[in-house]
Amino acid sequence: MQFTVTINQVKALEWGLNSQQALLFAFIYGCPSWAKPIKTDDGIFFALSKAKITEELPLLTDKPDTAYRMLKALEEAGLIELSSTSNITLFRLTAKSVEWNQKLDGSEKYPTPPKNKGRKKIQSTSEKNPIKVGKKSEEGSDKSPTNQDTNNQDTNQGTSQSLQDASAAPQQPANLVLVADSGPRCPIPADMPGPKDQSCKTFKAWANYAMAYRKRYQAWPVWNAKVGGQLGQLIDRLGIDVAHHVAAYFVSINDSGLIRGCHGIGDLLAKAEAYHTQWATNRQMTATTAQQMERKQANLSAGMEAADRIRQRAGGRDNEFLS
């Protein structure tokens, strides 16, 4: 999580940004210092997943789709340019956005630190800098972080967050099923059938499904042209950001019909939206569960009918007594 975010309120008001957009842009403005540069046909962009935004800015939003809509709003304001690969969002700052870090005279309000390893001596006449500099905090200190604007934790998007060692590879959690936005969290077995190119539209959904399938059945699912087409339809119906989650979750459902069919892709596609709801709510709706709910409703309806009959008979006797 980001420790500190510095907002230029003057520019935010001038550009018509609301508080959420200003918070997001303040974060994005510093991203080129650590985000991985990606070369595209339109030039250099920087990788920034929607999941990374929700992780670093929990006060902003916890929904990736909301984060993306805010990115689009910043693009419409002329502050960033957006692009994307098959699995991650890309951005770069515009010329207009440079004004965020400038004083009225055009000089930098917060100058970019020099690239050399040595530190320049802080001028004692500066009103914004302390006259004396204390001892350097120990690395890893939580009390006085050396960089409060950038978190050095693993981003899971293939980029190093450490400014001291930009070449350090991020640690990959040991997890069988793939759920990362920028790539697999574990090595892809060489014998896995299907697409190997991570830029392929169906790669992530297939890899999640296939590895969850092998974990359950100790065998790879069959890959062919029909399966590839079905996965493409699944992504079109659910969206590329969640289809791989639903595909992996689907294999965990303990429904007798699905188990008899060995959790085939056709069964997943047949009720894709229903399985999306089960994944989103983490509530499996098996045939047994549905029958139990049906019986409960039948018992409730029968009880209500019996109560109505009792009230009607009681009302009839009352009328005879009164007459």
Phi, psi of 282 (to 5 degrees): 55, 40
In a domain, 263, yes or no: yes
Examine the fold and report which residue of 74, 101, 128 is the final residue of a domain before the chain moves on: 101
- Give how many domains the chain has, as a whole number: 2
Rounded CA Rg of the chain = 28
Q: Which residue has the higher pLDDT, 138 or 46?
A: 46
In a domain, 269, yes or no: yes
Same domain? 187 vs 267:
yes
Strand arrangement, sheet containing 37-40: 37-40, 43-47, 89-93, 80-84
pLDDT given for residue 183 in this prediction = 52
In a domain, 211, yes or no: yes
Examine the fold and report which residue of 101, 117, 134 is the final residue of a domain before the chain moves on: 101
Phi, psi of 45 (to 5 degrees): -120, 175
Same domain? 176 vs 263:
yes
In a domain, 61, yes or no: yes
Same domain? 191 vs 279:
yes
Same domain? 177 vs 86:
no
- The residues pairing with 37 across neighbouring beta strands, listed in sequence order, are 46
Phi, psi of 89 (to 5 degrees): -85, 140
pLDDT given for residue 262 in this prediction = 96
Q: Look up the domain containing 32 and give its range.
A: 9-101
In a domain, 130, yes or no: no
Q: Which residue has the tokens 């029968």?
A: 302
In a domain, 186, yes or no: yes
Give every CB contact of residue 189 below 8 A, 6+ residues apart in sequence.
Answer: 211
Query: What would the pLDDT profile of 234-260 be if each residue is shown by its tens digit?
Result: 999 999 999 999 999 999 999 888 999
pLDDT given for residue 193 in this prediction = 93
Same domain? 177 vs 77:
no
In a domain, 317, yes or no: no
Query: What would the pLDDT profile of 133-186 be if each residue is shown by its tens digit?
Result: 455 544 444 444 444 444 444 444 544 333 333 333 333 333 344 544 445 566
In a domain, 95, yes or no: yes
CATH code at position 77: 1.10.10.10
pTM value surpassing 0.75: no
pLDDT given for residue 249 in this prediction = 93
Q: 86: how many CB neighbours lie within 10 A of its CB? A: 13
